[in-house]
Structure 1
Amino acid sequence: MTYDQLAEKLIEAGVNENSRNLRNKVSRGGFSAVFFVQCLKAIGCKSLTLEE
């Protein structure tokens, strides 16, 4: 999925982000857990497993 595609899906989900902002956030590694979950939901992720 491209940053442009993710930005479109986030906008559909009510999260106003453009692809440039997404690139910056990811390259800096500076985003909240809430934003991470919003991205997961936007791409259709139904579950997340964290291993110890």
Structure 2
Amino acid sequence: MAAMADPATQAYGMKPKKILKGELKRRGVTYAQLTEKQAAIGVKETDRNLNNKISRGGFTAAFLIQC
């Protein structure tokens, strides 16, 4: 937990969230559409789960690539 208190870690920790949200907006993809696209590759998520995961910004690189 001490690593997250580091300002540099916090600053970089929010970058994936901003990148993902920006890319979804740029492409005009909603959470519902993202849920469908992920289901097509075998990832089971609900719209709400995706929203929460992306809002927290605490997701894995694998999740980012799946999106």
Is TM-score (shorter-chain normalized) higher than 0.5?
A: yes
Q: Alignment partner for residue 8 of structure 1, among 10, 33, 36?
A: 36
Name the structure 2 match of 1:28.
Answer: 56
Cα distance in 2 for residues equivalent to 1:6 and 1:27: 14
| Aligned-partner SS, 2:53 | helix
Q: Report the CA distance between 1:37 and its aligned residue.
A: 0.4
Aligned length: 39
RMSD between superposed Cα atoms in Å: 0.5
Runs of 4+ off more than 6 Å: none
Q: Report the CA distance between 1:4 and its aligned residue.
A: 0.2
TM (normalized to structure 2)? 0.56
Name the structure 1 match of 2:13.
Answer: none
Structure 2: give runs of 5+ residues left out of the alignment.
1-28
Question: Which protein is richer in helix relative to its size?
Answer: 2
- Higher Cα radius of gyration: 2
Structure 1: give runs of 5+ residues left out of the alignment.
40-52
TM (normalized to structure 1)? 0.72
